[in-house]
Amino acid sequence: MPFLRADQGFKLDTQKELDIEFARDQFPGLSGDWTFFDNAGGTQILSRVVDRLNDFLFNMNVQTGGSYDLSKKAAAALWSGREAMMHLLNANRPEEIAFAASTTVALQNLARGMASQFSSGDEVIVTVSDHESNIGPWIGLESLGVKVRTWLVDKDTLELRLDDLQALMTDRTRLVAVTYVSNILGTINPIADIAKIVHENGALICVDAVAFAPHRAVDVAALDVDYLAISLYKVFGPHFAVLYGKYDLFAELDNLYHYFYDKDKVPAKLEPGNASYELAYSATGIVDYLVELAERAGHSGTTRQKIEFTFRQIAEHENRLAELFLAYLRSRSDCRVIGFDDGNDSRRVPTISFVIKGCDPGEIARKIDTFNIAVRFGDFHARRLIEYLDLADGNGCVRVSMTHYNTQAEVESLIAALDAALTS
């Protein structure tokens, strides 16, 4: 099973398409003058997420841990955020959810928490295609004598080859850090297969699922990953992040909080200074939204089943949009798509990077800006991949990143704007 599908484990009870009008109505930011194709940098936020953030701040803005009723209500709100993220990731229990200011911070915290588990001569494997958030913290362990090996993508297929991973593994490998989806390539890596190889070699796996989570249902149980991180501001929520970890592994991490937080105080010991209560509570709106989309399509079942159903609808909608844009790019003899060039390919999400021969990516993006269409150019904090692909001297690449609230009409406007930019 090289790739997990969003619908795996349940059967669709309807063929009704995603209710795009309802979906767009949930995002106030879409009512302005801009069309957003920079969603991999951050999606628009749901109105219900903001409503819940305000609800906490206005009606229960006190410290948890008190004996009085309002403090208990605040604690329940924080707990409901953990429960919502448990459903979103299919974790076993809310205590497997730790919050952080960002994925970068979450993975830095994880590396700090794991530090005592490494000895000089131990090895960590990172990939060249990861965002720096899942590379830098592990390279930081070199000060402890840890050796960091790099898993390269095949330059012809731009894929991570499982045989290459196996060749890198040794009896000193302690961790493999890998991205679920490259935020440049848009390629979905076969994480379940990777985890199997890692575990067979006695190591742990840490997955950056930031670029995957807005497009497909994350299932940590089916993947059998040890640690996984997502950024909620890229999944229709606030600027906040989630770190999943198997409970027993969380319990063994070093305490990052006060000295009296013993190893069993999970996950609070991984949240120095406490998690943001209001942001954690607001994140319940993300799951509520995904569930409502499924219910509007006539799907019944558990919260998790509804989440999976909605992501199946999202994938089908996004594939159509991606293929419309990629068909245009394929029609140009001067265009190189960085990644798979078929929008219907199950191995990709609608994060599409490209270069045009003889054109500066920054100049292209700035011309598209004039149409009030937001795209982006550069390296997207995956600089090692841009350097590896010999794109660092030319402003990287142009990236068009779609999400489910984009429409066919918006993609057609983007194509017209890009065409105009390339002929002016």
Q: What angle do CA 302, 305, 309 make, to 5 degrees?
A: 140
Residues 6+ apart with CB under 8 A from 120: 144, 145, 146
Alpha carbon distance 341, 331 (integer Å): 11
**Helix, coil or strand: residue 99:** strand
Alpha carbon distance 262, 303 (integer Å): 33
Residues 117 and 257 in one domain: yes
CATH number at residue 203: 3.40.640.10
Residues 275 and 388 in one domain: no
Residues 74 and 147 in one domain: yes
Residues 6+ apart with CB under 8 A from 382: 129, 130, 131, 132, 182, 183, 184
What pTM, to 2 d.p., does this model score?
A: 0.95
Q: Tell me if 299 is assigned to some domain.
A: no
Alpha carbon distance 299, 165 (integer Å): 40
Residue 138 host element (H or E)? helix 136-139
Which pLDDT does position 393 carry in this prediction?
87
CATH number at residue 355: 3.90.1150.10
Burial of 381 (0-12, 13-18, 19+ CB in 10 A): middle
Residues 210 and 280 in one domain: yes
Q: Name residue 199's amino acid.
A: H
Strands 376-378, 173-179: pairing is unpaired
Using alpha carbons, select from 268, 261, 310, 296 the residue that is nearest to residue 88. Answer: 310
Q: Tell me if 342 is assigned to some domain.
A: yes
Q: Tell me if 155 is assigned to some domain.
A: yes
Which pLDDT does position 262 carry in this prediction?
80
Q: Tell me if 93 is assigned to some domain.
A: yes
| Domains held by the chain: number | 2
For the chain, which ranges sit under pLDDT 50? 1-14
Sign of the Cα torsion 406, 6, 110, 149 reads negative
Residues 203 and 340 in one domain: no
Which pLDDT does position 15 carry in this prediction?
53
As a whole number of Å, the end-to-end CA separation of the chain is 47
Using alpha carbons, select from 377, 407, 408, 406 the residue that is nearest to residue 394. Answer: 377
Using alpha carbons, select from 117, 4, 20, 124 the residue that is nearest to residue 403. Answer: 20
Residues 251 and 336 in one domain: no
Give the largest Cα separation in the chain, rounded: 69
Residue 143 host element (H or E)? none
> Which structure tokens are listed for 137?
């913290």
Each residue's pLDDT tens digit, 126-163: 999 999 999 999 999 999 999 999 999 999 999 999 99
Domain that holds residue 349: 310-423
